[in-house]
Amino acid sequence: MKWKKYTIKTTTQAEDFVSSMLADLGVEGVQIEDNVPLSAEDKEKLFIDILPELPPDEGRAEISFFLDAAKEHGELLSQVRRELENLRIFVDIGTAEIVQGETEDKDWINNWKQYFKSFVIEDILIKPTWEEPAAGGDYRHVIEIDPGTSFGTGKHETTQLCIRQICKYMKAGDRVLDVGCGSGILSLLCLKLGAGQVIGTDIDPICIEASKDNMRVNGLSMEQARYYHGNLIEDACLQEQTGSGYDLAVANILADIIIPLTPVIPQRLKKGGIYITSGIIDFKEEAVTQAILEAGFEILEICRQGEWVSITART
């Protein structure tokens, strides 16, 4: 099988923005090439004694993604170009030229696994299913994740922001709605922390299967969770299936989805219910804040990590 390789010539400043945009359009993985010097933390993860010398970092980056060469992708590429021009309003994306190439069949979907290592946030160990935990660790909970081709290892800033807020605001026995469940990592966390029930939704059917698989990997009963494929914003049938009366709703998506989603959430929550949002790039914080206030929420906290923002509110 052959793959078409599309490379966007952009800037290091725009890397996160462009990568998030591609993920939102359904691109399953990206390859980023730049000359940004490695941090001390990055160097500790590498198993080589002498690092190669890189040219000076001039702020340029190339972001590549791979699509099935046997299929047509004209509409997707048009969407990518439109979204790049939208990003140009907020961040320097350079020329944003898209160069096309071709590559032979490689297991590129699974190659990223070598970079997903165990890590701890709060006192919770999050580890890939294929890695044994280090001996002697003292953790409140261990969550095993195999994201497959779905989004969510837990290591991204947006998910870490959510994890901290869930640990702070969720109570044992709470009923939780996880919108955009991805790999199911936030659902798993809530159940490990004592949630009474979790309902997850996602527009990608692969995420629904990944969430169910990760429930089984973690020894959790499917009686504790249900996952639905669909768009909660506009699907009346899904809104009826998920119902109401939730103590907490979490949406780790993107700002452009959180804004239209937010007016739907108050109907799902109990009075005094908690709404945790993340995946908000910093320049869209004001727009999301306004949407949350207009939906009648009281904002409790705004947290930041890197260029990302999480907003926690209450009905």
What are the tens digits of pLDDT across the range 62-88?
Answer: 999 988 888 899 999 999 999 999 999
Rounded CA separation 209/212 (Å): 5
pLDDT, average across residues 120-139: 76
pLDDT, average across residues 247-252: 97
Do domains 3-108 and 116-314 share one topology? The answer is: no
Rounded CA separation 300/275 (Å): 10
**Does residue 43 register a pLDDT over 70?**
no
Give the best-scoring range by mean pLDDT among 86-90, 126-130, 167-171: 167-171
Q: Report whether 251 contacts 277 (CB < 8 A).
A: yes
Give how far Cα 1 sits from Cα of 6, 65, 150, Å: 16, 16, 21
DSSP assignment of 42-81, as one string?
HHHT---SSPPPPPP--SEEEEEEEEETTS--HHHHHHHH
Rounded CA separation 292/166 (Å): 18
Q: How many residues in total does the chain contain?
A: 315
Q: Which residue has the higher pLDDT, 97 or 143?
A: 97
Domain 116-314 CATH assignment equals 1.20.1740.10: no
Q: Which residue has the higher pLDDT, 118 or 239?
A: 239
Domain ranges of the chain: 3-108, 116-314
Percent of the chain at pLDDT exceeding 90 = 57
First to last CA, the chain: 51
The predicted structure's pLDDT at residue 109 = 53
pLDDT confidence bin for 99, thresholds 50/70/90: very high
- Tens-digit pLDDT profile for residues 266-301: 999 999 999 999 989 899 999 999 999 999 999 999
Q: Cβ contacts of residue 315 below 8 Å, gap of 6+?
A: 266, 269, 270, 271, 272, 273, 275, 296, 297, 298
- Tens-digit pLDDT profile for residues 171-199: 999 999 999 998 899 999 999 999 999 99
Domain 3-108 CATH assignment equals 3.30.70.120: yes
Q: Report whether 93 contacts 12 (CB < 8 A).
A: no
**Does residue 47 register a pLDDT over 50?**
no
The predicted structure's pLDDT at residue 38 = 60
The predicted structure's pLDDT at residue 58 = 83
Q: Which helix (H) or strand (E) holds 82?
A: helix 74-88
- Tens-digit pLDDT profile for residues 5-40: 999 999 999 999 999 899 888 887 788 988 777 665
Supply the pTM of this predicted model.
0.66
Rounded CA separation 31/108 (Å): 10
pLDDT confidence bin for 150, thresholds 50/70/90: very low
Q: Which residue has the higher pLDDT, 73 or 118?
A: 73
